[in-house]
Amino acid sequence: MQPQNVVSQEEWFRAHKAHLAREKAFTRERDRLSEERRRLPWMKVEKEYRFDTADGGKTLSGLFKGRSQLLVYHFMFGPGADYRCEGCSFLCDHIDGADRHLRNHDVSLVVASRAPLSEFLPYKERMGWKFDWVSSAQSDFNFDFQVSFSEPQVASGRLVYNFREFEVGPDFVSRDWPGITAFYKDEGGAIYCTFAARARGGDILIGTYNWLDMAPLGRNETNGMSWVRRHDEYDEEPAAGGCCHG
């Protein structure tokens, strides 16, 4: 890529100063949106969901680990899956750094999948992740929170994901989809679902994207996330010019 619109230092300063006003407006709008999110209504969780964890069986309440808030990332990993989702892996690469800070700010975080522990814990070890990854195979947790779809649901021809109902045909194969769900537990032990983000709602958690958005070529994605690899599958020294425009 050849440099474009090269100007003097004075012109550069004026243009960037003008753009900064828009950046600040965007930041303030994002702050307002976050405040609106915290004012959304809550839904009481009536079921006692159970999970398999590396420390034994736990209820949803047990996943809080004594904290009042819980964030769950739904990793696309169903029973018997022969595919390790690159998109979910990309996001999960950004969890461990934040998790230490979250734990010290009254927030627990877990990753949950429908597959049994024996199927995904080896992958966790391969990736070098330290966060808690639990199995929801014992309950309807994934189905109730609309990140997994049962055979009867698929057979009905209509599913709900990201607050939208859509039609599916007989060739529909995706049984597990990604998302983030937030919970709060009050002093009496009652649990509430406070927020759910699906589809691109998790983009903000991918710090790599935020870095790329500041780089000269941005995300430079010619075909969505096709450039993303599991972090142990990149070449140690990629060819000059990078992966997307060499």
Nearest to 45 by CA among 191, 188, 164: 191
**Position 245 confidence tier, pLDDT thresholds 50, 70, 90:** very low
Q: With 80 as the cut, is the pLDDT of residue 238 above it?
A: no
| Pairwise CA distance, residues 188 & 179, whole Å | 28
Mean pLDDT of 234-243: 63
Amino acid 1: pLDDT: 67
pLDDT one-digit tens code per residue, 187-232 = 999 999 999 999 999 999 999 999 999 998 888 888 778 888 889 8
**Position 237 confidence tier, pLDDT thresholds 50, 70, 90:** low
pLDDT one-digit tens code per residue, 84-136 = 999 999 999 999 999 999 999 999 999 999 999 999 999 999 999 999 999 99
Q: With 60 as the cut, is the pLDDT of residue 48 above it?
A: yes
Percent above pLDDT 90 for the chain: 78
CA torsion, points 180, 204, 69, 126, in degrees to nearest 10? Answer: 70
What is the CATH number assigned to the segment(s) 43-204?
3.40.30.10
**Residue 217 CA neighbour count, 13 Å, CB half:** 11
> What tokens does 126 get?
């391969």
Q: How many Cβ atoms from other residues are within 10 Å of residue 110's Cβ? A: 22
Amino acid 246: pLDDT: 41
The domain locations on the chain are 43-204
For the chain, give the mean pLDDT.
92
pLDDT one-digit tens code per residue, 15-45 = 999 999 999 999 999 999 999 999 999 999 9
pLDDT one-digit tens code per residue, 149-195 = 998 888 899 999 999 999 988 778 789 999 999 999 999 999 999 99
Question: What pTM was computed for the model?
Answer: 0.90
CA torsion, points 112, 116, 118, 121, in degrees to nearest 10? Answer: -10
